């Protein structure tokens, strides 16, 4: 008895977010393999309802079937693709090396098991358009258990990857200034400490706190204050080297990682450079404003050997600069 579309898992089940992607892939492969062994007209209804691209080949690696999603993603109509080698229709390259990726269907038949593409795989459509994909391939067996071909289920993951990158950026950056936040700074500082320890080099942490910034917020409003903070963030980013990290801790506090520094004198020179950069007037909302800052400096390994300790000690040194009248820098000292 032939199996039709009504005998397979409905599309709504496959699209359910309650099912992990890996399970949905296995189900899709099973549906595709079973459907391709049955009535082709009913199989077409089933395979088009999956929502992923589905193609199959014979044992010689020649295309025997594409569903509508596969047609759209490859740029090949089923009638044109039928009988052509898989590599001609399903062109996949590595995103980094630009080299052709391994033939997943051929590997599935050879290994007699379900296999997946390597990460960073890009499908090159017939017209040259590229899309990031993930896929799984499995051998197709007839009712007597003999391998008669292979089936591939694949999907476009470009939007998902872009969303993941965006979410990662949001999680690691300050919403107002777009600078790295406390979490990303800690990660970079931890790596920098490990590198400095390995190579017996130094690094510096500068804790920058704006002087009397509350006056701007209280007198002109937080909107003007936020614009000033954005301007300050831009100036700091443009002033320092690409190997340095400028982060916003919150409020009017910034922490800077100087990952390549020879000594305290070098850190002091950077502090002086920051004073000069921040000292130029700001034109915001029709107001000309001037901002100064107090800076605390800690050095690795002189003032700490852990990321959190270095930031804490730079913070202590910053308060020392504040008590000295502001608009100056101070190094951390145990006393």
Q: Which of 100, 134, 130 is nearest to 115 (CA)?
A: 134
In residues, how long is the chain? 335
Can you tell me the distance from the alpha carbon of 101 to that of 96, in angstroms, rounded to the nearest whole number? 11
> Token pair for residue 252?
């009017």
Distances from the Cα of 158 to the Cαs of 133, 134, 211, 301, in angstroms? 7, 10, 46, 44
According to DSSP, the residues that pair with 121 across neighbouring strands are: 94
Phi, psi of 282 (to 5 degrees): -115, 130
3-state helix/strand/coil string of 55-69:
EEEECCCEEEEECHH
Under a CB-based contact definition with an 8 Å cutoff, are residues 50 and 31 in contact? Answer: yes
Asked if 135 is an active-site residue, the reply is: no
According to DSSP, the residues that pair with 147 across neighbouring strands are: 141
Under a CB-based contact definition with an 8 Å cutoff, are residues 48 and 67 in contact? Answer: yes
Question: Got the DSSP string for 119-140?
Answer: SSEEEE-TTS-EEEEEEEEEEE
Which of these is catalytic: 252, 262, 302, 315?
A: 252
> Token pair for residue 308?
């959190």
User: Regarding beta strands 245-250 and 91-94, do their DSSP bridges make them parallel or antiparallel, or are they unpaired?
Assistant: unpaired
- By annotation, the residues acting in catalysis are 252
């Amino acid at each position: 008895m032939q199996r039709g579309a009504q005998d397979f898992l409905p599309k709504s089940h496959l699209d359910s977010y309650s099912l992990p992607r890996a399970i949905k892939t296995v189900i899709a492969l099973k549906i595709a393999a079973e459907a391709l062994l049955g009535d082709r007209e009913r199989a077409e209804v089933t395979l088009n309802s999956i929502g992923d691209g589905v193609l199959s080949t014979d044992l010689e690696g020649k295309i025997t079937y594409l569903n509508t999603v596969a047609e759209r993603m490859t740029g090949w109509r089923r009638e044109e693709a039928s009988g052509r080698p898989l590599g001609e229709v399903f062109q996949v390259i590595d995103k980094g090396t630009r080299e052709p990726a391994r033939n997943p269907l051929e590997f599935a038949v050879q290994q007699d098991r379900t296999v997946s593409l390597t990460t960073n795989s890009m499908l090159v459509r017939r017209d040259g358009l590229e899309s990031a994909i993930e896929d799984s391939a499995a051998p197709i067996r007839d009712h007597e258990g003999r391998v008669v071909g292979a089936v591939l289920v694949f999907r476009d993951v470009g939007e998902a990857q872009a969303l993941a990158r965006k979410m990662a950026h949001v999680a690691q950056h300050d919403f107002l200034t777009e600078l790295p936040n406390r979490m990303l700074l800690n990660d970079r500082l931890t790596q920098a400490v490990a590198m400095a320890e390995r190579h017996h080099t130094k690094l510096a942490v500068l804790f920058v706190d704006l002087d009397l910034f509350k006056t701007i917020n209280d007198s002109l409003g937080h909107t003007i204050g936020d614009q000033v903070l954005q301007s300050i963030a831009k100036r700091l980013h443009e002033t320092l080297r690409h190997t340095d990290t400028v982060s916003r801790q919150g409020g009017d506090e910034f922490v800077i990682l100087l990952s390549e520094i020879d000594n305290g004198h070098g850190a002091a020179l950077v502090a002086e450079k920051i004073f000069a950069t921040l000292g130029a007037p700001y034109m915001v909302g029709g107001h000309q404003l001037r901002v100064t800052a107090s800076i605390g400096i800690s050095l690795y390994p002189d003032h700490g050997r852990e990321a959190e300790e270095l930031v804490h000690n730079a913070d202590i040194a910053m308060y020392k600069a504040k008590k000295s009248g502001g608009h100056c820098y101070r190094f951390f000292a145990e006393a």
